[in-house]
Chain A
Amino acid sequence: MMRALIVDDEIYSREELEAMLQETGEFIVSGKCANALEAIQAIKKEKPDVLFLDVQMPVINGFELLSMIDEKLMPNVVFVTAYDEYALKAFEENTLDYLLKPVEKGRLAKTVQKLKRMLNGGEKPVFAGPDIKKIPCILSSKIKLINTSDVEYVRSNESGVYVICQGGDFFTELTLKVLETRTNLVRCHKQFLVNVDHVDEIILHENMLAEIKTKSGNSVPVSRRYLKILREKLNF
């Protein structure tokens, strides 16, 4: 049995697909999400084998969602769309497969065969998603999108990952690893990423440690391990 996660903003689409997946007898539907943020949370929690992903969704579309998923957790992806024009793009993204809505039973059976082959082969799915231009953050019940250029730095601790910018600290579901690979933020510490455009000065301490002062006066620690890399990047 494959554990599947359904991501679609339309309730009837989710229900219909769930029903069809169950009819095949091959899937356990471990969750249904109405948008990308719910999906990121659910992927972390459920670690599904396969993601049935709608392309057209509010705020963050299916392609953008892919680039926000941590590589270690990346499931196999099947795009589900009513628009034929997205099919080609889906293949460019190395998606396993795509289904057109309304989904045909026979077509779904073929997808099942492909999925089984992939999962038995034990190959790790890799998707080269687009760069993240806006980081989705959760603000009480609303979603705030922060331009990566506005971000000063990002920190993570036991309670999660926070994006620090002019307006304050914002919690995000994205991991440091994803943000490091998909944005121009630079790692300066095991728990910190920094936007070099916001760096005001770098103060060197003993023991090969350092501290970054941002333009707005915040300080970000630099660890020994990353100081060297940072030096190469900034040429100092």
Chain B
Amino acid sequence: MELLFHLIQAMSVFLVVAYLYCKSPWFKPLTTDSLRTRDKIYLYFFFSTVSIMGTYLGIPVHDAIANARAIGPVLAGMIGGPILGTAVGFTGGLHRYFLGGFTAFSCGLSTTLEGTIGGLVHLYLFKKNKTDLLFAPRVAFITTFFAEIVQMIIILLISRPYADALDLVKVIAIPMILSSSTGTALFMSISRDQKNMYERVAAISSAKAFKIAERTLNFLGRGINQETAVDLAKIIREETGVGAVAITDKEKVMAFIGYGSDHHTPGSPIVSPLTMTAINENKVIFADGEKERYLCPVSNACPLNSVLVVPLHIDNDVIGTIKLYETRNKRFLNMNKTLGEGITNLLSNQLLLSRYESQKNLLIQTELKLLHAQINPHFLFNSLNTIISITRNNAARARELLTHLSNFFRKNLKRGSDISTLEEELDQVTSYLQIEKARFDDRLAIQIDIDPSLLKLRVPTFTLQPLIENAIKHGISGMLEQGITKVTAYRKNGLAFIEIEDNAGTFHEKETNDGLGIRIVDRRIKSLFGNDFGTTVTCVPNEMTRVTIKIPLEAHTA
């Protein structure tokens, strides 16, 4: 009985060791799922030490030692696998062997074997995909319990004289089995708690980061400006709970939320040397408030003491910073440092994305403008020339054409939005066709056939115009015979179709010229309605060219 208490006492020392170990940086590898070789070497030294200590803390009994040597090898085996377990057991066993006594060899051997047993349990659980049980205290208890029984049997089998061995085992078996098993279980329990805590912290940080990402995603699409900066700073402060949050561009403070906002005013220029360094060198600056302090350059009464400055960048250009502050009476949490850096990287990516988006839109806008610029001057001069001529003999007709011309240009200017109805498109096209009809006289015939129920159909603005211009400019104006332009809109299979057809059939010859306009129209329809829609071109050389536009009837935008 006394022996049991002694062993429990020794075990307590282990628990202290276990506790300290869990708090040390060497514990960190255990929180990940796979161990690297270097981590295993650390573990080897640690558990070998534990095992040897177990021997020294043991109590001499009958020329042998009642001890807690088994704890080290069994744990090493369970955590690191059979090789690590055996190695630790061998080391502990070898040490015991050199201490001598009639159980020297049997104890040395059994300790090695105990490490192997721990390792086999590890292998078994790994194969059964129950790795979560590796850190379960009850598994550790049962494993050690079994390993210690094996040890007793080995002592009985190998140690001679047998009578002494039997006496020894009678005395030490129960206390050693119980204390070692309990010790291993408690050790495991401490490790598990620590491991869980790490995971919980990680989970909380991820959850926070995700929440911030979710809250900022929406409005960051517009880029960072004075207004979004304030919202952003608020969100970051709410989620991290730091003393204050500031957002700057490269010259001035854009937003400041939290303690010290009385003298850190948005719009004022950057004066903090830490921020300037962060911007100039594109690196994260951290003043923890102890080794390096944040000294407010504006006011002596500023409560802020520590700061994290993270540069915001697009590609490699710094465009500003995000700053997290903590006051004098609060430590800057490591978690918030990680979080601050993470959020800033996330935001940088979002900004890159939003810039990419806006450039893509800009490109489409530019293409559209290009399309206008390409056509309008030619059209304008030709129209004016025609009208000037008509003025000589038919002033009324000239007036009519001028009205069409002004209508056409007004529509061109006015229609800033991306979507128009088919009716609006037709209105503009009609003015255009009227003028072209006058210009080409009887060389041009126009046939328009529109299903009236489609007049409210939503299409991208400037869908018809470029296609009809193509038909006339590259098609009919090159014909000696009469040119016929047909514009048709109809329903088929629950879809809307618009066709622009000419009887020139020259599309293939001037692919590069015609192609641009059609490509842009196609791209805009696809980006609006999806890839199932768009334009197709059919051309029978010298007979006809037909551009067919396929659009959904219910214009729900994609």
Contacts and interface: CB of A to CB of B under 8 A. Distances in A.
A16 B478 contact: no
B389 A15 contact: yes
Contact of A13 (B378, B389, B481): B389
Interface string B420-444: 0000000000000000001111010
A12 B386 contact: yes
B384 A102 contact: yes
A16 B381 CA distance: 14
Contacts of B384: 102
Nearest to B476: A58
Interface string B375-407: 000100110111011101000000000000000
At the interface, is chain B mostly helix, strand, loop or mixed? helix
B382 A19 contact: no
Interface in A131-173: 142-143
A82 B378 contact: yes
Given A10-B439, A12-B385, A102-B384, A58 B378 contact: no
A82 B479 contact: no
Interface string A14-38: 0110010000000000000001000
Contacts of B392: 15-16, 19
Contacts of A83: 378, 381
B11 to A, nearest CB: 96
B189 interface: no
Contacts of A95: none
A10 B386 contact: yes
B336 interface: no
Contact of B385 (A16, A19, A35, A143): A16
Interface residues of B, number: 20
B41 interface: no
B18 to A, nearest CB: 86
A190 interface: no
B477 interface: yes
B480 A58 contact: yes
Interface in A92-126: 100-102
Given A16-B392, A82-B381, A35 B480 contact: yes
Contacts, number: 53
Contact of A102 (B378, B388, B477): B388
B478 A58 contact: yes
A82 B480 contact: no
Interface in B37-80: none
A56 B476 CA distance: 12
Contacts of B388: 16, 102
Contact of B389 (A12, A58, A100, A143): A12
A208 interface: no
Contacts of B439: 10, 12
A11 interface: yes
Nearest to A14: B389
Interface string B308-331: 000000000000000000000000
B44 to A, nearest CB: 82
Instruction: Specify which of A15, A16, A56, A142 lies most central, judged by the most chain B CB atoms within 10 Å of its CB.
Output: A16
Interface in A162-214: none
Interface in A35-82: 35, 56, 58-59, 82
A8 to B, nearest CB: 10
A19 B441 CA distance: 19
Contacts of B385: 10, 12-13, 16, 82, 101-102
Interface of B: 378, 381-382, 384-386, 388-390, 392, 438-441, 443, 477-481
Interface of A: 9-13, 15-16, 19, 35, 56, 58-59, 82-83, 100-102, 142-143
18 contacts: A9-B443, A10-B382, A10-B386, A10-B441, A12-B385, A12-B389, A12-B390, A12-B438, A15-B389, A16-B385, A16-B388, A16-B392, A35-B480, A83-B381, A100-B381, A101-B381, A101-B382, A102-B385
Given A10-B441, A102-B385, 13 more contacts: A10-B386, A15-B389, A16-B389, A16-B392, A19-B389, A35-B480, A58-B480, A59-B480, A82-B382, A100-B381, A101-B382, A102-B381, A102-B384
